[in-house]
Structure 1
Amino acid sequence: MIPSARAWTPEEDLVGFFGPESVTWLVHADPVFSVGGLRALLLQALHPVAMDGVATFSEGFRTDPWPRLARTAAYVDTLTFGTRREALRAVRRVRGLHRRLAGVEAASGRAYRVDDPDLLLWVHCCEVDSLLDVARRAGVVTDADGDRYVAEQVTAAVLVGCTEADVPATTGELADYFARVRPQLRLTPAARDAMRLVVTPPMPAWVRFLTPARPAWGSLASLAVATLPQWARRMYSLPGFGLTDAAATATLRGFRQGMLALPARARRSPIVRAGFARVARAEPASA
């Protein structure tokens, strides 16, 4: 059930569902968040029913994936860094869209709704696992922070429609979840297409030839693939992708250091910047 805005104080509304002291803010504000987001998309595509929903209902995704990627990023940013009211508005929009969508996955014959709790849980767990994995590798968080992050993210899962009792609340439970689900996963033609879109998305000719967008994106996508679990890389027939785990981690850390050298405006979305600014303005009043 989506909570009522009357259930919290103005101060709680201001800091959002997580707040600046959370591991969630630390992970989601870091430059390697973008690598984790792409890794999550690649993992999510391996669930044939979840991928069927994307292929069937994401109009124009194959020819122009950018609007959907931007909407997904904005949703996660708002849920994390927005006020609680802003986050709930985003949640209601997403749940309203999901509620109207249903289909049948051809290979299994499974009839599904996009908001089936097990599908929502799969998407959630792929996101949490991916964002935490790259944050650990890059040195953003320690292993000890992992359980805190997974536990904090139960809130995000329940808000979008997952059943709370089913949502992993520790890193151990998250690993057990993937072990249970792996037999259901397959590399379908739709998943293969999604992987190609993530690695080499369509770009206008002027962007490809007159800007560094193509090589920059290629580096980002290569890191996302290289940080996938080995079993997922094997499913994509990309077991090594040219990098060992140690090399992928070292490259990820180098990417992070390069991004941290840029001003915050260049590496953080307006939603993230607004969240930090809002909390900073409130600090003197609450001190």
Structure 2
Amino acid sequence: MTEADAADPGLFGPGSVTWQTHADPMMWVAGIRALYLQALHPRAVRGVLQNSDFRRDAWGRLLRTASFVGTTTYGTTEAAEKAGARVRKIHRMLSATDPETGERYGVDEPALLLWVHCAEIDSYLHIARRSGLPLTDAHADRYIAEHRTSARLVGLDPAEVPSSRAELAAYFASVRPELAVGPDARVVDDFLQRPPTHPLLVPARDLLWRRVANLAYASLPPYAHELYGRAAPDPAVVTRRLRATGTALRAVPARLRWQLPPKHILRAMARLGPHTRPAPFKVGTRVPILDRGAARRGDGGDSGTCQSWRQAGTTP
């Protein structure tokens, strides 16, 4: 590791909301919620299933996604940029076919990338706050704004990505008519309920995994429950379960949790010093992440371009 690497806080850094939030163990529940939400977009989920053996390699796909998030959150700037470049290269080579119309389209369509990004960020933020992580509204807005950086890594224009809770809500309202549960979403739902595993591990899957998957599903917005066709659970009960789960998982010593591969957090602490240990919630007051990144790249940050969800008049 070079001296420059040792001093490099990466794209977010210890003072960011992202650095602190992504260290929380409830992010695994949030990741499952994101999969349930992402599967509601027929074009997006079709692109996944037509380009990968989801059922056979689902665990590998989940771990690769977790590794990407870990690298972009806690890795050096160079490592994060390289990870983003790899994702963009893969996406450029992939396409999917609409079985009804025969249309062939690229999986890197901006609208599809935006849906995947927003479903993921919304899930991380929703689960963190609802399970008891002390994120204020200002923290939440800052978290969403920070992730215009991760949106850039996958090929989106940061100026076209929601940067606050209000803009994120407006985006979901605008895309709602496009959502549906078709055969591809059912495949994802079936996997999340009954992921393939060794026969000896089936009892543990049914006892532990299904409870986590059901909790992630229960935390979805009401329109998602309606689309999936299962009864919407009592929101107050779901919140209590999320808080109880969060309390239990956070009781496990962080150093023990962070020993699990690929150890992104421990490597970042070794690079930057033990004082950078994520300990919610010690968020700094440094310059917003996107502005610092724009200054480094010289692109000026937000170009002021508006999406239709911004033009709808539902945002400040």
Show CA shifts across 1:179-236 (max 9, x none).
Answer: 1111111111010110111122111112224xx3442211211111010000011100
User: Following the alignment from structure 2 to structure 1, what is the Cα–Cα distance between the partners of residues 226 and 103?
Assistant: 26
**Which letter does structure 2 place at the counterpart of 1:168?**
P
Show CA shifts across 1:217-264 (max 9, x none).
Answer: 112111110100000111001232xx3111111111111111112233
Equivalent in 242, 252, 269 of residue 276 of structure 1 = 269
Equivalent in 215, 219, 239 of residue 223 of structure 1 = 215
Q: Are positions 1:86 and 2:79 aligned together?
A: yes
Show CA shifts across 1:145-166 (max 9, x none).
Answer: 1100000000000111012221
More helix by share: 1
User: Following the alignment from structure 2 to structure 1, what is the Cα–Cα distance between the partners of residues 171 and 7?
Assistant: 32
- CA shift for structure 1 position 266: 4.4
Conserved 8 A contact 2:7-2:272: no
Which residue of 2 is the match for residue 97 of structure 1?
90
Equivalent in 95, 104, 115 of residue 111 of structure 1 = 104
Show CA shifts across 1:8-51 (max 9, x none).
Answer: x9379621111111111122110111111111111111111111
Q: Can you give the 5+ residue segments of structure 2 that lack an aligned partner in the other structure?
A: 277-316
| Alpha-carbon spacing, 1:148–1:11, altered in 2? closer, same or farther (3 Å) | farther
Q: Can you give the 5+ residue segments of structure 1 that lack an aligned partner in the other structure?
A: 1-8
Percent of aligned positions that are identical:
44
User: Following the alignment from structure 2 to structure 1, what is the Cα–Cα distance between the partners of residues 238 and 101?
Assistant: 35
Q: Are positions 1:192 and 2:182 aligned together?
A: no
Which residue of 1 is the match for residue 165 of structure 2?
171
User: Following the alignment from structure 1 to structure 2, what is the Cα–Cα distance between the partners of residues 224 and 216?
Assistant: 13
| Alpha-carbon spacing, 1:246–1:110, altered in 2? closer, same or farther (3 Å) | farther
* Bigger shift: residues 258-267 or 217-226: 258-267
Please state whether the residue corresponding to 2:162 is helix, strand or coil: coil
Please state whether the residue corresponding to 1:15 is helix, strand or coil: coil
Which residue of 1 is the match for residue 129 of structure 2?
136
Which residue of 1 is the match for residue 247 of structure 2?
257
Conserved 8 A contact 1:168-1:177: yes
Q: Are positions 1:182 and 2:176 aligned together?
A: yes
User: Following the alignment from structure 2 to structure 1, what is the Cα–Cα distance between the partners of residues 158 and 12?
Assistant: 17
Please state whether the residue corresponding to 1:262 is helix, strand or coil: coil
Conserved 8 A contact 1:64-1:202: no
Conserved 8 A contact 1:36-1:224: yes
| Alpha-carbon spacing, 1:66–1:74, altered in 2? closer, same or farther (3 Å) | same
**Which letter does structure 2 place at the counterpart of 1:237?**
G
Equivalent in 9, 12, 15 of residue 15 of structure 1 = 9
The number of equivalent residue pairs is: 270
TM (norm. structure 2) is 0.80
Q: Are positions 1:201 and 2:210 aligned together?
A: no
Please state whether the residue corresponding to 2:21 is helix, strand or coil: helix
Which residue of 1 is the match for residue 285 of structure 2?
none
Equivalent in 227, 232, 252 of residue 235 of structure 1 = 227
User: Following the alignment from structure 1 to structure 2, what is the Cα–Cα distance between the partners of residues 27 and 177?
Assistant: 23
Show CA shifts across 1:65-86 (max 9, x none).
Answer: 1111111111111111111111
Alpha-carbon RMSD: 1.9
**Which letter does structure 1 place at the counterpart of 2:50?**
T
Equivalent in 132, 151, 160 of residue 145 of structure 2 = 151
Q: Are positions 1:247 and 2:237 aligned together?
A: yes
- CA shift for structure 1 position 174: 0.4
| Alpha-carbon spacing, 1:21–1:11, altered in 2? closer, same or farther (3 Å) | farther
Conserved 8 A contact 1:31-1:260: yes
User: Following the alignment from structure 1 to structure 2, what is the Cα–Cα distance between the partners of residues 281 and 266?
Assistant: 15
- CA shift for structure 1 position 109: 4.4
User: Following the alignment from structure 1 to structure 2, what is the Cα–Cα distance between the partners of residues 37 and 142?
Assistant: 21
- CA shift for structure 1 position 108: 5.1
User: Following the alignment from structure 1 to structure 2, what is the Cα–Cα distance between the partners of residues 109 and 265?
Assistant: 51
* Bigger shift: residues 118-127 or 91-100: 91-100
